[in-house]
Amino acid sequence: HGTSKINDLGHLEIGGVDTTKLAAEYGTPLYVFDEALVRQRCREFVEAFQASGLKFQVAYASKAFCVMAMCRIVEEEGMSLDVVSDGELYTALQAGFPAERIHFHGNNKTISEMEMAIDAKIGCFVVDNFVELHMLNAIAAEKRQKVKILLRITPGVEAHTHEYISTGQTDSKFGFDLGNGSAYRAIEEASQLSNLELLGIHSHIGSQIFEVEGFRIAAEKMAEFAIAVRNQLQVTFSVINLGGGFGIRYVSEDTPLPVAVYVKAITEAITSNFGSNGYPVPEIWVEPGRSIVGDAGTTLYTVGTTKDIPGVRKYVAVDGGMTDNPRPALYEAVYEAGLANRATEQPVEIVSIAGKCCESGDMLIWDVNLPKVAAGDLLAVSSTGAYNYSMASNYNRIRRPGVVFVKDGQSDLVVKRESFEQIVGNDVIPARMKHVS
């Protein structure tokens, strides 16, 4: 998919660049992003909303993959950006991303994060709870600013997804509950705080969702709530944000819907609930992360050792693992892989891909059908663009891999591989600890 293909040498090529050349030039493990595919995904969202004729913002959820070059792409594609920490905010600002298009999320924004974001004049805070609501108002008052906010609502919609990544249900650390009246109370309080400007409400029902139903129900609940709030409190929302969560294909059995289908379901649910009763249709905002970058990323690894346990399993170890992709260990996430240097060869054996970390749980793929694998082969794991680099760690003091963008036969390094100096860069040896040797 995307610009990936097999070239005349039988090598996997992405963005017109031979992956064996990438491995030779930048080393492995290496995250490779198909830039054309990232931009295509951005445009699919933007164009689907344009087709609806409604006002909208597509905010890339930068948690999926937040580096300065990515912020540039998001800016160039005319989208907004959602951040959840001072680090993501700093990255966006350093990249020159327009502050007014930044939305700040999170259930525990610190005072210094709120100050930093207000000083930068970001576009909007998505306020998560009562403590934050009053804290933000106080900080804004101190700075004599009026700050735009959305309130994060927990709509009580449970999306069909892995338990750890569903956030729309009532027992959640996020947001104001729709069920117990706290959402209603938050609107009342927010509209009385003079340094806050309440734009509207936000919900996010989960991640890696394939059905439109969850989005449709969430959109309906939010619309009903907005109408009730207007009738009872005379507060009108100009924005309804429905979060992210659009599923992508990790393995061939996955069947995500085209972006346009999700967007159509959402815009139709919103328009059919407003309009008729004189309520102006609010702007619709969404926050896709995974669906922007997920399937555009491929990780290249070099195969090292193998261990054959006859009649049981063959382990094939690569030069990365849970440090660059913690998702299999964390969420039992599944991936597909192929040999990038012998991409035309028929699969002959089922093997399991192990990482190099010192624990048994460090497995990338259980049971993948590959040609005869040997040390030095280049393994390509697909759909690693989202929540891989952004969740990478230095466990075992392994250096995090570099990231390249490929496009039209050209490769650009956008994140360097970490250095040994960086590995020990924050370490301090107290002066009293002398060398004894």
Which residues sit at the interface with ligand LLP, rule CB under 6 A?
A: 61, 64, 105, 165, 167, 204, 207-208, 243-246, 287-291, 327, 331, 386-387
Residue 258 near residue 302, CB atoms below 8 Å: no
Half-sphere exposure for 243 (CA within 13 Å, toward CB):
32
39 is in an annotated binding site: no
Pick the closer one to ligand LLP by CB: 193 or 293. 293
Q: How far is the CB of 390 from ligand LLP (least distance, A)?
A: 8
Q: How far apart are CA 206 and CA 343, in angstroms?
A: 35
Q: What separation in angstroms does the CA of 234 have from each of 126, 148, 178, 179, 425? A: 21, 18, 18, 20, 55
290 is in an annotated binding site: yes
Pick the closer one to ligand LLP by CB: 61 or 269. 61
DSSP 33-90: EEHHHHHHHHHHHHHHHHHHTS-EEEEEEGGGS--HHHHHHHHHTT-EEEE-SHHHHH
Q: How far apart are CA 82 and CA 193, in angstroms?
A: 24
Tracing tokens 């709870």 back to the chain, one arrives at 129
Q: How far apart are CA 88 and CA 66, in angstroms?
A: 7
Q: How far is the CB of 294 from ligand LLP (least distance, A)?
A: 8
- According to DSSP, the β-strands at 124-127 and 102-104 are parallel
287 is in an annotated binding site: yes
164 is in an annotated binding site: no
Q: How far is the CB of 29 from ligand LLP (least distance, A)?
A: 18
Pick the closer one to ligand LLP by CB: 116 or 165. 165
124 is annotated as an active-site residue: no
200 is in an annotated binding site: no
Query: What are the E-state strand segments in 64-215?
Result: 80-83, 102-104, 124-127, 147-154, 176-177, 196-202
Pick the closer one to ligand LLP by CB: 123 or 243. 243
Classify residue 255 by its DSSP letter: -
Q: How far is the CB of 397 from ligand LLP (least distance, A)?
A: 23
| Dihedral sign computed on CA atoms, order 24, 26, 32, 33 | negative
Q: How far apart are CA 37 and CA 45, in angstroms?
A: 13
Q: How far is the CB of 246 from ligand LLP (least distance, A)?
A: 6
Pick the closer one to ligand LLP by CB: 342 or 400. 400
Pick the closer one to ligand LLP by CB: 288 or 338. 288
262 is in an annotated binding site: no
331 is in an annotated binding site: yes
Q: Which of 42, 124, 357, 358 is catalytic?
A: 358
Question: Phi/psi at 322 (nearest 5 deg)?
Answer: -65, -15
Tracing tokens 């230095």 back to the chain, one arrives at 394
Q: How far is the CB of 286 from ligand LLP (least distance, A)?
A: 8
Residue type (1 letter), 90: Y
Annotated binding site for substrate: 290, 327, 331, 359, 387
Annotated binding site: 245, 287-290, 327, 331, 359, 387
Positions marked active-site: 358
Annotated binding site for pyridoxal 5'-phosphate: 245, 287-290, 387
